[in-house]
Structure 1
Amino acid sequence: MYLINGDKKALESVIKEQRIRIGRGLITITPASEAGLVTEEDVEKALESKQKVIDGLSEENESYKKEIDELKARLAELDSHVDDTKDVQEEDKKEVEQTDTKEVPAEDDKKADVQDEKKVSASKAKK
C-alpha cells in the first residue's frame, strides 16, 4: 500500500495514465478516509481534546495536593495539642488483703463400718 502525495493536477494525470491497469484490477485506489487513515487535522483535534482532559486532571490533582497539605498541617496542629503523658497512681499495689469468711468445721464425722457382708452360698459352706 502506498500513499501518493503531490499536486492535485499531477496526481490526476498519473491516475489517467494508469487507467488501463486500474480497469484490469491490477491497481486499486482507496481514499485515505476509507483505508482507516487519519488526517493530520483529525490528529491535531484529537490531541487538543486529550490535552484539555489532561490539563483538567492536572488542575484537579493540584487542588487535591493543596487539600492534603492543609489536612496534614491541621493534623500536626492537633497532635501538638494532645497531652500524651500518662499519669499512674502511686498507690497501685499488687498486694491483696486476704480475708476468708468461710468457716469449715475441723471435725471429721465419717466412721467406717468394718463388717464383712459377703454372702457365701450354702453348697460351698458345706464343703
Structure 2
Amino acid sequence: MSPFYCILKIRLIAIYATILLNLGVIMRYLFWLIKFIGFVLLFGFAMHNANPVRLNFYLGSSWEAPLALILLVFLVLGAAIGLLANLGQVIRLRREVLTLRKERRLWVNEKINKEAEILTPPLDAI
C-alpha cells in the first residue's frame, strides 16, 4: 500500500466523522425548515378561508366568524378536552412511579445493610 493511499484513507475517515458530528446540526435546521413550510401552508390556508362563516348552535343562537378562526377555536378546545381526559391517568401513573421509587430505595438500603452485616466480623472473633 502506498503512503498516499493511507493518507487518503485517513482523510476520508476524518471527513466522514465530521459529517456525522454535524448531522445533528443539519437535522435541527431541516426540522426548522419543515416547521416553517408547514406554517406557511397553514397560514395560506387561513388566508384563503377568511370569508365569514355562520355557525348555528341550539336554541337559535349563532356565531359568525372567519372559517380559520372557527377551526382554530375548535382545535384548541379539542386539545384541551384531550388533555383533561388524560389528566387522571397521568396523576395515577405519577403516584405509581413515586411508590416504586420509594420501594426501590427501601430495597437498596436493605441490600446495603445485609452486605454490611455480612462484611462485619463477629464480635467474639476479636
Normalising by structure 2, what TM-score? 0.38
Please state which structure has a larger fraction of its residues in strand: 2
Normalising by structure 1, what TM-score? 0.38
